[in-house]
Structure 1
Amino acid sequence: MAITLHNIPEGLAVGVAFGAAAQGMPSATIAGAIALAIGIGLQNFPEGVAVSIPLRREGMSRSKAFMYGQASGIVEPFAGMLGAYAVTVMQPLLPFALAFAAGAMIYVVVEELIP
């Protein structure tokens, strides 16, 4: 559950990046949004493994443990769509959404590094 909640701001950050690029903001590019999405996707792989391995050790089948690992990240695409939609519909919110996305990413990094 904690990893699932942790993925919501990550999805919002990706969605806001794509929304900003779609709005034609000069500092936001599709390449930057894709790079952010790839980076977050790569760091989600170990999170899914962290969910799956303990379940496997407790005797859960390999496929079921894998599905639970995948399910922990299912909120991210939905949060991304919400972030992109909100930014494209309400363009005046774009600076605040970008600030929120940056703050969310800083929080995620700090939370992971500082116990």
Structure 2
Amino acid sequence: MNIIDKVIAPFSPQRALNRAVARKKLEAINNLGYDRHGASTHKKSMRGWFSRAGSPDDDIVKPLNVLRERARDLFMGNPLATGAIKTIRTNVVGSGLKLNANIDA
């Protein structure tokens, strides 16, 4: 909210709301296409996805507990996530593939 909106809001809240809505619509129109790492900003499913770039520690280490909780929740309630994890688990034997080189004498 800029200074003009702050001045208008106490006198005409509806006009301030209309300005805010118009600003969001312009922002959506100006961001059409496949910007922001290939995700479309005009698809309904992607409109609410707001991300920010941070350091690896800020993105992964600090919210690690929340990420683990959400991953568990997805595993228990989302068939797509469950299938991905089960596919990996099913196709790995032991601790994974290991090189076993034999010299052909």
TM-score (norm 1): 0.27
Greater Rg by CA: 2
TM-score (norm 2): 0.29
Compare relative contact order (CA 8 Å, sep 6+) and give the higher one, 1 or 2: 1
